[in-house]
A and B are shown apart, each in its own frame.
Chain A
Amino acid sequence: MNCQKFESIVGELARGRIIGADIRQDALVHTGDCPRCALRFRNEDMLTRALQMLALETESAQAPNRIEGHLLQAFREQKLLQPVYLVNGRLRYWVSAAAAVLLIVASVIAIRWRTERPVAQPATFAVGHTEGRVPEKLPVAIDRLRGPTDNVVKYLPTSRKPGRRSESFVAKARSTETQKKANGVAANNVTGEIATEFMPLGYLNAANLQDGGQMVRVALPRSAMASFGLPVNMDRYNETVKADVLLGVDGVAHAIRFVQ
């Protein structure tokens, strides 16, 4: 037997574990030949005896009786809740599953509601705005709409008065329907207003509108329409035109549409 082989079995040898008789004999013979391995064996043997002493020392150690009392008391208290514990596994599974489904449904509803809200808001805001209430002089340059809320002019309080809608605008809308569609203009049949498509002011990310926003009715000089490539009647160049500005929750104007 060489030293390497001896090293691999010295622990078992010292611990008196079952190893082959011939291997054991070889190992003991090797300790007679090799002083280093003999010392190694002596150390292992001493360690084994020391560990046995320690094991013997703690052999009788056990937890104090009061712990058993505590456990039994806790067990009795738990038994009072046994109906819950008995069905613990299955009930917990089904409750978790139901909760997960409810959470998903609630999330879907919430997401839909939030995404639909910006669509619903224009109707709310646009419906009640009356031409009579639009201040005559609100000369706001379109560039100013690109800034934060304080730059974005005035908010007109809504009051639903469909009877006061402008007949002339409705008549115009009926007569030039095909032309309007070509220009991307939409008619609101409820209020009789005609509105262009929303045009983005700067960079418009749809995600910015996911958190909601606010529609503000403003009055602008007609010259502002030219900035968006819309035709302007030069005879009415100095008049004002109504517009809906879509503000994000951060107060920044995101889009604008012109209304007649």
Chain B
Amino acid sequence: MKAKSDFSDSELLRSMLAGDEEALALLYRRRQAGVFRFALQMCGSPAVAEDITQEVFMFLMRQGRAFDPTRGSVNAFLMGVARNYVLRRLYGEQFLIPLADDFEEDSVLEHSDADHGPLENLMRAETIETVRRAVLSLPERYREVVVLCELQDMSYVEAAEILGCAIGTIRSRLHRARALLVEKLKTEGEENTNAATVKSARCFA
């Protein structure tokens, strides 16, 4: 008899629905990071991402029987539920979503200190923040494709399963999203350059 840690997601879900608490814990530990990251990258707020992660697994506890293995994996099911909660938040509570967060800044510093020099760290942090802002400013249908395919490194097939659309749609949305991101980053870069020019002019005046 194999250990529970070797169970597939579907088996864990079945055990969980039969009342096995350990199965829930294992399934949660296995899948929570993906759900949390997706929510975080979509909303930009760790607090909202925490709420959504909790709501997704609460939903799984209550409505886990709605999962149909013929329609996709448990992970895709969880991400689909997470997506619904994220979209609900984005539409309903936009004022609660900050663009930047202390949590992120801390983690940036933690990560960057270990690998690079101070100037490089600063530039890297700036680049990450710029890209994060650009991703968060994308329309939802483009943002979710970027998050899944670029940030979560999922294949087109997996993304299509989660978003419930054709692979061609994912491909075209991603293409469009990348073009938008390039435009946004270019615009932001030009604004920064202009700002620097103005500052210099004042200094010399």
Q: Which residues of A are at the interface with B, using a C-beta cutoff of 8 A? A: 8, 11, 15, 43-44, 46-48, 50-51, 53-64, 67-68, 70-72, 74-76, 78-79, 82, 88-89
Contact = CB atoms under 8 A, between A and B. Distances in A.
Given A11-B174, A61-B36, A75 B21 contact: yes
Across the A-B interface, the 8 shortest Cβ-Cβ residue pairs: A62-B33, A63-B36, A50-B131, A63-B53, A55-B151, A51-B150, A43-B182, A54-B131
Interface of B: 16, 19, 21, 24-25, 28-29, 32-33, 35-37, 40-41, 46, 49-50, 53-54, 57-58, 61-62, 65, 104, 107-108, 111, 124, 127-128, 130-132, 135, 146, 150-153, 174-175, 178, 181-182, 185-186
B50 A63 contact: yes
A89 B64 CA distance: 11
Nearest to B103: A61
Contacts of B130: 50
A11 B175 contact: yes
A11 B179 CA distance: 9
Given A44-B178, A53-B131, A63 B49 contact: yes
15 contacts: A46-B185, A47-B131, A47-B185, A50-B131, A53-B128, A54-B131, A57-B107, A61-B46, A62-B36, A62-B37, A63-B50, A67-B32, A67-B57, A72-B21, A78-B61
A74 B108 CA distance: 33
Contacts of A53: 124, 127-128, 131
A82 B61 CA distance: 11
Contacts of A57: 104, 107-108, 111, 128
Given A71-B57, A74-B58, A79-B19, A61 B24 contact: no
B182 A44 contact: yes
Contact of A50 (B16, B53, B58, B127): B127
B24 A70 contact: no
A89 B128 contact: no
Contacts of B111: 56-57, 60
Given A47-B185, A50-B185, A55-B150, A67 B135 contact: no
Nearest to B184: A47
A4 to B, nearest CB: 13
A54 B61 CA distance: 32
Nearest to B108: A57
A11 B182 CA distance: 11
